[in-house]
């Protein structure tokens, strides 16, 4: 078995996963885009911009050539922001061999096509097994060996179990799940609700409000996910309610931090500049809103967040509209589960 793994993208999550895999004894070729990050890893063994204070092991070799990064790797981890996944997959395709497993760890929807990221990758890389790795997992904690539990999903059970073995450790537990649609949808859409939860905090609202947002948020995530073909049971798991909890409640969450600034009155441009890194929920909200309109799925929190982000709607008035929606029974929105299996 090859002990070589390629990690494409050394942002906070790519760096944390590279460190985790290196500690397991794998030889990591880490493709780095920014020359200053490359130099810092070489000279200081640290990524101070994206994961400060975490030592980069010697068996992580930073490279700036994609072909060199994937050459000889058994597994290729795609750790770039969601809106760059297609471009990266396309540029990697000429260098890949069919037996290399592609592991996507980004969470989002492609804004132009409204497609899930594994669909995007498949359009650019035709023959390789694709596995999605997702769950409640802040890079800042994984990089410091804080116990974390995630899920990997694939149309290939063999590939999913291979990735499970690759990533599993005493501090990093990995489950498998055949429901690729549910795992991807939950991981992407929870960022929308985290932005909304942050706005609630920024407005000075309390725990009651956040609990309502999270509970109703998972309901609309599940509605859209089930309409796309997911099993509703997935949204009760790690990549549904689990990821939603951690992203809505932690200051490690860029989406929550961005929401706080928006709730305090800052513009979207000011907020994104202050965060300084990709806030996936912004583009995902746009894509999810358009997808919900296309599919006829009611997503009131997503719609109001879209109005705040793209129509400059006042956040407090958006909350008021959510509170005064037409009366209904909670049980009316419970949907039947759909069984899914390994393909």
Joined together, the tokens standing for residue 309 give 């982000």
Which is it for the CA torsion 42, 48, 49, 51, positive or negative?
positive
**Cα separation of 240 and 309, whole Å?**
23
At 46, phi and psi to the nearest 5?
Answer: -155, 150
Query: What length does the chain have?
Result: 343
* CA distances to 138, 175, 321 from 248, in Å: 12, 22, 21
Answer whether 231's CB lies under 8 Å from 179's CB. yes
Distances (CA, A) of 8 to 28, 136, 334: 10, 21, 40
Q: What is the DSSP string of 243-307?
A: HHHHHHH-TT-HHHHHHHHHHTT--HHHHHHHH-S--HHHHHHHHHHHHHHHHT---HHHHHHHH
Set 29, 107, 190, 210: catalytic member: 190
Active-site residue 24, yes or no? no
Active site residues: 190
């Amino acid at each position: 078995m090859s002990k070589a793994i390629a990690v494409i993208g050394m942002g906070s999550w790519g760096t944390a996963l590279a460190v985790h895999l290196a500690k397991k004894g794998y030889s990591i070729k880490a493709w780095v885009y920014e020359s200053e990050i490359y130099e810092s890893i070489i000279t200081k063994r640290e990524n101070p911009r994206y994961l400060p204070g975490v030592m980069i092991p010697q068996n992580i070799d930073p490279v700036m050539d994609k072909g060199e990064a994937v050459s000889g790797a058994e597994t290729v981890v795609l750790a770039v922001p969601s809106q760059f996944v297609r471009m990266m997959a396309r540029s990697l395709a000429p260098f890949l061999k069919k037996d290399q497993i592609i592991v996507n760890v980004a969470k989002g929807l492609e804004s132009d096509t409204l497609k899930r990221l594994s669909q995007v990758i498949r359009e650019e890389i035709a023959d390789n097994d694709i596995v999605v790795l997702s769950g409640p997992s802040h890079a800042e904690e994984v990089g410091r060996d804080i116990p974390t539990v995630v899920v990997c999903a694939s149309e290939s059970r063999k590939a999913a179990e291979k990735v499970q073995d690759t990533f599993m450790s005493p501090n990093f537990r990995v489950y498998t799940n055949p429901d690729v649609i549910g795992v991807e949808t939950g991981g992407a859409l929870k960022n929308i609700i985290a932005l909304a939860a942050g706005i609630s905090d920024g407005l000075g609202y309390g725990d009651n409000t956040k609990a309502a947002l999270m509970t109703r948020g998972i309901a609309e995530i599940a509605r859209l996910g089930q309409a796309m073909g997911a099993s509703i049971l997935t949204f009760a798991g790690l990549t549904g309610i689990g990821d939603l909890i951690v992203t809505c409640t932690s200051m490690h969450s860029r989406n929550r931090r961005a929401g706080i600034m928006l709730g305090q009155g800052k513009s979207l441009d000011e907020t994104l500049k202050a965060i300084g890194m990709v806030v996936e929920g912004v583009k995902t909200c746009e894509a999810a809103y358009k997808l919900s309109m296309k599919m006829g799925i009611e997503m009131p929190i997503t719609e109001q967040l879209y109005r705040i982000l793209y129509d400059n709607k006042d956040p407090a008035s958006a909350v008021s509209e959510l509170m005064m929606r037409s009366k209904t029974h909670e049980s009316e929105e419970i949907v039947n589960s759909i069984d899914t299996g390994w393909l």
